[in-house]
Amino acid sequence: MATEETLVLIKPDGVARGLTGAILARVEAKGYSLVDLRLVEPDRARLEQHYAEHAGKPFYEPLVEFMMSGPSVAIRLAGNRVIEGFRSLAGTTDPTTAAPGTIRGDLGRDWGLKVQQNLVHGSDSPESAVRELQIWFG
Ligand code: IDP
Ligand code: MG
């Protein structure tokens, strides 16, 4: 089977809390390969592209604002079934209820209604991965 690639973002809360190394350690320990990695301060246009599927939802504007609040680490990650596998490592969207053992479950915390502060992003399908890697790595 061909090796797959996904886009992983360590969101501004992960970078600000100094969790970049801890998150990368989990990804590397799982056996995935770092193909490219960069610290990025995305502008609104890039985030509107990235989160186009969520435009108009109540959490959209706070999400875009949050993602502009500081740098993120963008990672091109490769491995067998890495799209599904990273989503599994990340845990479900809300860090309060994400399973222990996952990045969000172990390291994410509930800051009031700010569910958007859940440390990481991972592409959710092969189509999303291609689209998102183009947005963040060109
Ligand atoms: P995912 O990151 O687990 O794939 P999505 O549903 O694609 O979750 O949502 C994208 C991002 O939007 C989430 O990671 C989170 O930061 C934010 N988000 C999703 N749902 C909510 C919500 O109900 N309130 C606030 N933020 C949300
Ligand atoms: Mg998503």
pLDDT digits (tens, 9 = 90+) for 56-91: 999 999 999 999 999 999 999 999 999 999 999 999
Pick the closest to residue 119 from 52, 4, 43, 27 (CA basis). Answer: 27
Q: Is 128 in the pocket of ligand 1 (CB under 6 A)?
A: no
Tell how far the Cα of 63 is from the centroid of ligand 1, in angstroms: 8
Q: What Cα–Cα distance (Å) separates residue 52 from each residue in 49, 92, 121?
A: 5, 20, 14
Two tokens, residue 23: 């998150």
Residues 83, 38: Cα–Cα separation, whole Å: 19
Test site for ligand 1: of 102, 118, 119, most ligand atoms within 8 A of the Cβ = 118
What is the model's pTM? 0.96
Secondary structure (H, E, C), 68-83: CCCCEEEEEEEECCHH
Nearest 10 degrees: Cα torsion 17, 53, 86, 23: -10
- Helix 20-30 with 82-90: angle, nearest 10 deg: 130
Alpha carbon nearest to ligand 1 atom 13, residue? 116
Tell how far the Cα of 94 is from the centroid of ligand 1, in angstroms: 8
Proportion of the chain above pLDDT 70, given as a percent: 95
